[in-house]
Every structure is written in C-alpha cells, then in structure tokens.
Amino acid sequence: MTTLRLLQHRAEDGTRSVILAEGDAAHVLTGVASVRELALRAIEEGNSLAATARACGIGDAIDIAAEQAAGRLIAPIDHADEAHVLLTGTGLTHLGSAEGRNKMHQAAASGENVTDSMRMFLEGLEGGKPAEGQEGQQPEWFYKGDGSQLVGPGEALTMPSFAKDGGEEPELAGIYIIGNDGQPYRLGIALANEFSDHVTERHNYLWLAHSKLRQAALGAELLLGEVPEKIEGTSKIVRGGETIWEKPFLSGEGNMSHSFANLEHHHFKYDLFCRPGDIHIHFYGTATLSFSDGVQTEEGDVFEIAAAPFTLPLANPLARAAERAVTVKAL
C-alpha cells in the first residue's frame, strides 16, 4: 500500500509551496502555498484532504530527501500567527515493556507504593480503549506552548538556560485544524520529538508542567489517512559522529493503552480547544527514552528518529539558550 504524505517547502527566497508525496514519487502542487490553506479548502469543499490535494495541479517532480538535506523542508503545519498553534500532549499512553507492566500490576495488587503515575497507567489499561459510543478513562494531559515552540527537521531543539536536562521523546503527533463551525479535523500524523526535561520531572512529578514547557520538533511528512495500527521505529543519539545510544520504539494503537479516539475526545471536549481556524499539534506519548537508560545528553548531541511508513528521518541537534535575566516592573 502506498502512503500519501504532504510536506511544506520553503525556497531560499522565502517562496513557499506544498509537496504531495506518494510512495517514492513527489511533486509540487500548484495553486496552494501551505497545508493549512489546503485543509481549509478541503473543509469548505466537503472533501478529504487527500482528494483536495490530488485535485490540485501537479507541478515539477522533486527529490524530498535532497530538499531536506538542503534545509528547505519545514514543519508540515504552521500558522501565520503562532499564537493560534497549540502544542499539547498526553503521557502514560503506551504499553511499554511486559516487564514494566508486570511490575506495575504486582505493586498495585500488593497495595504498596502505588504512585499516581502507576494508578493513571493502570486506569488507562482498564479504560483507555472504550467501546464505540462510550467515554473512556481520561489520560494525563500537558501543555507545551504555542507555535513559537515548534521546530522543523534539522533545526536545533533549544533547552532554556535553566534546564536540568534536554531529552528526546520519539513519538507520533496528531495534526488538527478547527473548522469554522468549531469542528476539529485530523489532517494526519507526523513523526515527532516531543523533547522534555526529565531531570526536572523526576525531582517531583508535580513539576511535570514545568518540564514540558519546551520546544518540540516535527518531521517533514504529514501522513494522510487512518493512523496505522502499529508503527515501529528507531531512536538514537549521535555525538561527534558516533552513535552513543540507540533503541527501537513502538507506537500506533496496537502498542498503546489508549485509542486515538479516546485521546482526541478528552482534548477537544474543552470548548477553548475548538476555536475556529486554530491548529493543534497533539503528542500521543512514548515508552522509549534514553534518560531511562541513564544517558546524559550534551549540547551538540543529535537526536535522530526514523519510522516507516515515513520515508524521511527527523534529526535535531541539542542546544542551550543564553541566560536571560527575569525582572518584572511595576506600572
């Protein structure tokens, strides 16, 4: 089965275009400059995003791997006003290893050391995939920021000067747009690095909110259609040209304790997330972290994430922002 993907291209003179990729072939679409524009057109016409893209004029063939290497592919969704892009996510959504699940169940059964995280994980296993028409268990939820915190392939993931850690989180992100009537539409999914401060989170779980106020990266390809049941990929860290850590990661509903529909319900049930025209980038979670294996990242490390059916990897170097004095003036 061929996979249909949309990509956003920005030429050196700033001119933007949308690329339609199917299998190994990719062509520039004519008459459209952004995925958001194309999505709004699809909603207005009452067609799918794929059908709307296919109805556009087909321009020149393009080598997307070469364009990514040249730095001309950007994140596959954005908005002219960054305040109208919301980055959010859910955690404790993936099954992880059988050993980890067994330990959680054993501890829960014993009634000893049952943490809030463990309880939430077990509640997700119990009720994260409700029957059709039923409301399932709500997941952990967090906010990462607005569109100013989004970076594309090849761009640096920059942790604040005060960060205790800058760690990768390889996962999938759902890309959504809100129609004029307040209806959320899923455009597709993208490969993502959710990027967090795991040292801060470990210090006290109530600091999770602080640890998540970080940048996040999206791969260049927006995969259209239904989300694959299972996705298998690889996450690695490269330092000085050498791979210092590498591990497979799993995603897709077959590897999750929550259904996508359940995660979407518990996000878009809030009216403030149904504002017409807004873009939502929602990170579905992961079970694979280098931090869990004792890796301490360093500035200059490169996070590389790859997973079929995406054809392009997502690679981002780690950087640290300059220190900034924080002062408040009374008026």
Per the model's pLDDT, the better-predicted residue between 119 and 8 turns out to be: 8
Q: Are 20 and 76 in contact (CB under 8 A)?
A: no
pLDDT at residue 326 is higher than 90: yes
pLDDT of residue 98: 37
pLDDT band at residue 97 using 50, 70 and 90 as cut-offs: very low
The pLDDT tens digits for 289-315 are: 999 899 999 999 999 999 999 999 999
Q: Residues with Cβ < 8 Å from 32, sequence gap 6 or more? A: 17, 18, 38, 41, 56
pLDDT band at residue 16 using 50, 70 and 90 as cut-offs: very high
pLDDT of residue 106: 56
The pLDDT tens digits for 98-113 are: 344 344 445 555 556 6
pLDDT of residue 127: 78
pLDDT of residue 99: 42
Q: Which of 61-75, 89-103, 257-271 has the lowest mean pLDDT?
A: 89-103
Per the model's pLDDT, the better-predicted residue between 126 and 269 turns out to be: 269
Residue with tokens 């993208």: 190
Please tell me the pTM assigned to this model: 0.93
Per the model's pLDDT, the better-predicted residue between 102 and 66 turns out to be: 66
For residue 22, give both structure tokens.
């199917």
